[in-house]
Amino acid sequence: MFPKNTWYVACTPDEIDAKPLGRTICNEPIVFFRGEQGKVAAVEDFCPHRGAPLSLGFVRDGQLVCGYHGLEMGCDGKCSSMPGQRVRGFPSIRAYPVVERYGFIWVWTGDAELADPADIPVLHWAESDEWAYGGGLYHVGCDYRLMIDNLMDLTHETYVHASSIGQPEIEEAAPETTVDGTEVITSRHMENISAPPFWQAALRGNNLADDVPVDRWQICRFTPPSHVMIEVGVAHAGRGGYDAPAEYKASSIVVDFITPETDTSIWYFWGMARNFNPGDQALTDRIREGQGQIFAEDLEMLEAQQRNLLAYPERRLLKLNIDGGGVQARRIIDRLLDAERQASADIAS
């Protein structure tokens, strides 16, 4: 139950530089590799000869060579050659539209004719020297929508991340959720509070006093199919909060690409983009390490939640004010799913 006619983040370039990568996305086993001129390619991870995974093979002259008997697969899913064989009549396998952009490999899992790279979301921070990015990848055993819920309702920080970014003021500040087309925005502003440890460190990283009251904000933006960008930051109190001049604040964007692996598991690409001290690689590394620890705290909870939901499939969950962001995001996903089902039905009829 995930939209297919859309771009998902499949992997990062370093994962395919040395050898092909086999990865299941939206229940489909796919092999990603660098084909001719190093251009990224993606085909089914299934050799048409005897069914071996092509991801156990290697790339030679831009062709993907099966590691079992040497069938050579082109980037288009057509067999290009095989030792001692004529391959003209060989069946093809599916090739997936794939684009390398912004430091990620994006894959289109639906109808290839509909794939338009212009639909990949614009990530301005990924192309600017004024920004730095660090991130990682987690495999999590939960429905992708549970992770969207998690990220669109940050009150969980008070409980799950009590020692790093959580603080009671989060749950005391009511969030506001709005919908703009297919974008869902949940924002929360806290004024004149103490900065929690993570943000004290960020203030120091930006050469700002870390022991004075701050205004803090969290603006979560969901866009389909399952991307969540969160503007987060603190400013010295009374300087305008979110709108304060750069010299009074430390802010960044929490980046979350949530790619379904199966119905109950995801590839979770997380990271943080910041526009202060972008050249400080040591700072980037420290932030990534801290964020990685914080985000790992969610995994146990999400996987336990998933197991409970599978055990009680008939239970209806609550939809509170704090859940508004996740609820609206699911409505948009449901609309996309309905549209895809309708399109399939139209073709069939």
Query: How big is the CA angle at 295 (ends 9 and 165), to the nearest 5 degrees?
Result: 130
d(CA 161, CA 198): 11
CB of residue 233 to its own copies, shortest distance in Å = 22
CB of residue 168 to its own copies, shortest distance in Å = 8
List the beta strands (DSSP E) in 14-131: 21-25, 28-34, 40-44, 58-60, 63-65, 72-73, 79-81, 98-101, 104-108
Judged by beta carbon, residue 210 or residue 323, the one nearer its own copies is 323
CB of residue 290 to its own copies, shortest distance in Å = 21
Judged by beta carbon, residue 54 or residue 273, the one nearer its own copies is 54
CB of residue 69 to its own copies, shortest distance in Å = 5
Cβ within 8 Å of residue 84, ≥6 positions away: none
Cβ within 8 Å of residue 282, ≥6 positions away: none
Cβ within 8 Å of residue 49, ≥6 positions away: 66, 68, 69, 71, 82, 90
d(CA 142, CA 317): 16
CB of residue 298 to its own copies, shortest distance in Å = 9
d(CA 111, CA 53): 23
CB of residue 320 to its own copies, shortest distance in Å = 6
Judged by beta carbon, residue 182 or residue 262, the one nearer its own copies is 262
Give residues in contact with its own copies (CB under 8 A).
29, 45-46, 48-53, 56-57, 65-70, 82-85, 90-91, 149, 153, 155-156, 158-160, 171-172, 174, 300-301, 304-305, 307-309, 311-312, 315, 317-318, 320-323
CB of residue 196 to its own copies, shortest distance in Å = 16
d(CA 58, CA 131): 35
d(CA 124, CA 47): 39
d(CA 6, CA 158): 34
Q: Which tokens hold the place of 58?
A: 């290697």
Other residues' Cβ atoms within 10 Å of the Cβ of residue 195: 25
d(CA 230, CA 252): 8
Judged by beta carbon, residue 282 or residue 315, the one nearer its own copies is 315
Judged by beta carbon, residue 83 or residue 181, the one nearer its own copies is 83
Q: Which tokens hold the place of 112?
A: 């290839």
Judged by beta carbon, residue 206 or residue 226, the one nearer its own copies is 226
